[in-house]
Amino acid sequence: MAIKGAGGLAVVQDPADALYPGMPQTALENVSVDYVVPLSELPSLLVRLTEEDLPDRSGGEAVSPNLPGETSGLYTCPGCGGPLLEIVNGGQLPYYRCRVGHAYSAESMMRAQREAVETSLWAAVVALEQQADVSKRLSRHSERAGRTRSARQLQTEAEAAQKHAKVVRSMLTRSTEQ
């Protein structure tokens, strides 16, 4: 989008020829592409294009992905956690870029956010299960040492952590089954 916004040409590998067709397919769905070719034809096309004089098609100033756009403090980069810049190019869907350089189409942003949320929730399940295990072990040690009040408190904490882990795990496994 940034290349097209600056007047450049968009060259995309034919998704049918790609090892991972998602990226070229996303480009085709979100950008007005100039060339779609199989991988075997890309080198010769790029050489030919670099030898041609291209007309100025930018219609003015180049659009930098780091300039125009609406900065939203509500969005963070799923890749690095930094702030994202929402970039709007004409009537097209916005795209997102962080300071590090990670870039997302609207669709890939949604997919990356879903994956980041799922990863975080699984990490929460692991942390809760570990908390339950440690609390149980400490409860047993406290019981053996005659500290029954401490043992009961630790057992209550273990049960609460187990309950929370079970709820999150259940939510995650239900969503992956659907």
The string of DSSP codes covering 63-114 is: PPTTSSSEEEEEEE-TTT--EEEEE--TTSPPEEEESS--EEEHHHHHHHHH
Q: How many CA atoms lie within 13 A of 6 on its CB side?
A: 11
What pLDDT was estimated at residue 72? 52
Query: Is the separation of the CB atoms in 63 and 76 below 8 Å?
Result: no
What are the boundaries of each domain within the chain?
Answer: 1-63, 112-177
Structure tokens at 15: 């998704």
Q: 59 pLDDT exceeds 50?
A: no
pLDDT in tens, 77-117: 888 888 888 877 666 777 888 888 888 888 888 889 889 88
